[in-house]
Structure 1
Amino acid sequence: MTNIFFGLSGGLGPLMRNAPTAERFIQSGASVYMSIYGESSMAWVERLGYKFLVDDDPTMPDPDKLIPPQPAIYDLDHYYAQMGLLDERFVEAWIRQRIRMLESIGADLVIADMSPHTLIAAKVLGIPSVSITQSCFHPDGKPLYFWGTPPRNLPKVTPVMNRLLYTFGLPAVERMEELFRADVDIVPGIPEMDRIYNNRVRYVGPISMNMPVSAGAELEKNFRRPAVLVYPGRLADSAGDSGMYLVKAVLSAFAETPVFVVIATSEALPEAWLASLPSNIRIVPFVEEERVGEFDLFIHHGGHGSCMSSIARGVPSLIIPTHTEREFNARHLHELGLGEYMMPRSFSPSHLYDLSKYIMQDEYRDHAGDLQKLLEKRGYQGALSVFECAQQLLRGTNRSTTC
């Protein structure tokens, strides 16, 4: 039996854009294994029925070599300094544990989403690999902080990584972004949002899935226009309580207005908020992907999956980007005329409401509809394309190509 390993970072985004590919492998008779970080994400992997592998190595980063999490991220060296990769002892344990994990299941193919140690382990073991990546994380894409000049003297984890790459017999890299290259690099999006200056990259269009819980009858009974969908992402993450702030801002801005608002979050909100929920606002765990197009506006945190969902369904966005990668997405979406963005804690409730009404009444919806039609004309195949590329790798007919 063929064994497929998915190495994912954390959060629902990577899971939702990789699960459809995993399902295709299961249908083909393969065994699928996943590793992901974050208790909520782990629970969802198990709930969806995938074989879950726990990264249970006890080695932790030296606190003296760990910088605090922050919403400003200037490049992947800076990001991974927040994850402990300035500590060589921790990084070696991190990589060796991933090597042992792949060996334990006899992995025949690796698919990695924001998981450099998975790709390193695959290269050490000679396992074919696929990288699911965004342009801001790819060495040939636009820099993560393209609109400004990063501060001087930021921490660098690349020298630490290069010492270990040498130990494993792998070539050195000039920056962390190079470690996101695999035998096949796949973007779950479109070149307009994710321009990568490399002809090897394969664009497969948006990938998403419906979760086994949804808005269901709640929307059927109460839905009316104008309607706004809100997705805050995780209520608290490395950027702080930005998701909670977004929900609170929406509750304040839209309470008892003529706009019907659906907030999609499966995480627990304060009981006091739920007890005094305005009559025009509903809170549901998820909204089915095909229902996103019923809304007049999508307010979200700027995650790549949310941006692609709004594009695929022809709905304009108002983004409250909770860290630099999401601001990267927000700026590109705005450049395409598909919406606006506001920085967290930079607006009042009335400002949020007025801008939302403006986006719903202006030309943004037309622009979103035009791009939606262009995507349909191109005929992107999403997870099917990922699966077919991976199958070619398994057959040995495609190494270092665009499939």
Structure 2
Amino acid sequence: MSPRVLFCPWSAGGGAGYTGRALAAAARLDGRFECAFGPSGVARMVAEGGHRMIGEPAGDTAPEVVPAFLPFANVERVFAVTARYYRPRVLSEHLRRDLAAIDEYRPDIVVTDMQPTAVLAARLRGLPLVSIADTDFLDPSPNSWMPWSCAPPTALLPHPSALDAINSVATGLGLDPIGSVPELLWGDLTVVPSSPLVEAPPPAPPGRAGPVYVGPLYWDPPGAPYLPRAAAGTRRVYVSIGSGGMVTDTALREVLAACDRPDLSVFLSAGFQRRDWLARHSNVELGGFTGITGPITWADLMVNHGGYSTVIAGLLHGTPQVVLPFMSEQEANGRLFLADHGAGLVARTTRVEQDGRIRYVNRHSGDTDDPVVPAADLRLTIQEALDDPTLAQRADYARDSLTRLRADADLAELFATLLR
């Protein structure tokens, strides 16, 4: 009988990228493990990937109204604000959910991608833990998701501490307290789906090994990669700004207006949210959750939200990118992984004052209080990216490293070492 792996990806406020990484990891286990997903996974993606989902999904803990930009300074602020894990009652309910899934499925290994209650559940059951993580999940710096900020994290989002609630619940069940939330996200095996050329490893806490880089983990739905259409003589632009959880209609209208040009063929991955008005642009082909590989190899330029998997996929394929971020980590991905290497442009950055006030800085029109980038500014940024041949040359700075790590990393063998 094959050993069992239970994947528990983060899902509060969306979660498609995290579930997609878990599905990609499951595919790389080469059939040596039986895989299932805990109740925090995105159900429709898990079903399409052909895996069983264990337990009852938790209710939606995301805020009903999402701001146009979310200034998370670090992973603890995400837990506190998005999942409300500053409330021990909410944390305990999600821990109960994950424990029930473990007790039903009886896995040999638990895998988390930023889901802290799955970590606590695995520790309580004495199971090996694999953590899939961006390096900023693991960095205990106060502004690890927003390193340009000089403000205290709670000045940006003044919710109570999730660390206090996590330690209260953990110690009440006999687990040791942690000094920081990132400490919780170091597993017995910690996997970074990237390359140290893109993001350097943070130091591991005492008793934990450093991270293992395995190259990109992103998931395409079953079947041949989808290749969009293109009119003759046009430049090809792939627009992918998330599954819909953080993207307002206002922002998306500006993006499409910026791309409404006869010299462009545009493919828009609209994610899970259906918006009928999207069909009104004649040069735009609409797609749902089509996967990344086909559109990204088709495109001359990607316009994306700065989601981790999307940016890393762009670097793997050497495709220039324009990043339009809707939260701080997306902005950091655009700044650090792309702009600092000349591999892409960030359409709008932020400047944070000591008291937590945020100013938005559009690439071409400058300072503003409006977090939505106007179409005129986006049009100039897109044209700048298409006109700059050095951007395309530098877009593949990490391609060789990411390709080699993806080919050489034996994820199944890494998992198997935890059971020996």
TM-score by length of 1: 0.85
Does the 8 Å CA contact 2:24/2:218 hold for their aligned counterparts?
yes
Give the AA of the match of 2:52: K
Give the AA of the match of 1:320: L
Shift of 1:116: 1.0
Does the 8 Å CA contact 1:302/1:327 hold for their aligned counterparts?
yes
Residue 378 of structure 2 corresponds to residue 355 of structure 1: no
Evaluate the alpha carbon distance shift between residue 129 and residue 223 of structure 1 in structure 2; reply closer, same or farther with a 3 A threshold.
farther
Shift of 1:214: 7.4
State which drifts further: 176-185 or 261-270: 261-270
State which drifts further: 102-111 or 146-155: 146-155
TM-score by length of 2: 0.82
Shift of 1:17: 1.8
Give the AA of the match of 1:229: Y
Evaluate the alpha carbon distance shift between residue 331 and residue 185 of structure 1 in structure 2; reply closer, same or farther with a 3 A threshold.
same
Residue 193 of structure 2 corresponds to residue 188 of structure 1: yes
210, 213, 228: which one pairs with 1:200? 210
Structure 2: 5+ residue stretches without partners: 204-208, 349-369
Does the 8 Å CA contact 1:9/1:36 hold for their aligned counterparts?
no
Q: Residue in 2 aligned with 1:400?
A: none
Tell me the distance in 2 between the aligned counterparts of 1:256 and 1:69: 30
SS of the equivalent of 1:33 reads strand
Tell me the distance in 1 between the aligned counterparts of 2:383 and 2:39: 38
The residue correspondences of 1:1-400 to structure 2 (distance < 5 A) are 1=1, 2-10=3-11, 11-25=15-29, 27-28=31-32, 30-37=33-40, 41-56=42-57, 70=67, 71-82=70-81, 83-139=83-139, 143-151=144-152, 152=154, 154=158, 155-198=160-203, 200-212=210-222, 216=226, 218-219=228-229, 222=231, 225-235=234-244, 237=245, 239=246, 241-242=247-248, 244-274=249-279, 276-278=280-282, 280-285=283-288, 286=290, 288-332=292-336, 333-343=338-348, 345-362=371-388, 363-376=390-403, 379-381=404-406, 385-394=410-419, 396=420
SS of the equivalent of 1:95 reads helix
Give the AA of the match of 1:35: G
Tell me the distance in 1 between the aligned counterparts of 2:88 and 2:291: 42
**Residues 130-153 of structure 1: per-residue CA shift (max 9 Å, x gap):** 100011111357711211123356
**Residues 159-214 of structure 1: per-residue CA shift (max 9 Å, x gap):** 12112221222221122121101101110012233322237111111122321377
> How many residues of Structure 1 are paired with residues of Structure 2 in the alignment?
379
Shift of 1:129: 1.0
How large is the RMSD of aligned CA atoms in angstroms? 2.8
Evaluate the alpha carbon distance shift between residue 253 and residue 308 of structure 1 in structure 2; reply closer, same or farther with a 3 A threshold.
same
SS of the equivalent of 2:131 reads strand
Tell me the distance in 2 between the aligned counterparts of 1:357 and 1:15: 34
Give the AA of the match of 1:80: F
Tell me which stretches of 4 or more aligned residues in structure 1 moved more than 6 Å.
Answer: none
Q: Which has the higher helix share?
A: 1
Does the 8 Å CA contact 2:225/2:293 hold for their aligned counterparts?
no
Tell me the distance in 2 between the aligned counterparts of 1:148 and 1:43: 37
Q: Residue in 1 aligned with 2:356?
A: none
Tell me the distance in 2 between the aligned counterparts of 1:223 and 1:233: 28
**Residues 310-346 of structure 1: per-residue CA shift (max 9 Å, x gap):** 1000011101111111112111121121111123845
Does the 8 Å CA contact 2:54/2:105 hold for their aligned counterparts?
no
Tell me the distance in 2 between the aligned counterparts of 1:192 and 1:182: 22
Give the AA of the match of 1:94: H
Tell me the distance in 1 between the aligned counterparts of 2:275 and 2:148: 37
Tell me the distance in 2 between the aligned counterparts of 1:383 and 1:129: 22
State which drifts further: 95-104 or 16-25: 16-25
Evaluate the alpha carbon distance shift between residue 217 and residue 298 of structure 1 in structure 2; reply closer, same or farther with a 3 A threshold.
closer
Tell me the distance in 2 between the aligned counterparts of 1:373 and 1:76: 30
**Residues 98-136 of structure 1: per-residue CA shift (max 9 Å, x gap):** 122112111101111111111111111111111000111
Evaluate the alpha carbon distance shift between residue 15 and residue 214 of structure 1 in structure 2; reply closer, same or farther with a 3 A threshold.
farther
Evaluate the alpha carbon distance shift between residue 346 and residue 111 of structure 1 in structure 2; reply closer, same or farther with a 3 A threshold.
same
Tell me the distance in 2 between the aligned counterparts of 1:51 and 1:388: 23
Structure 1: 5+ residue stretches without partners: 397-403
Tell me the distance in 2 between the aligned counterparts of 1:193 and 1:100: 38
Give the AA of the match of 1:169: G
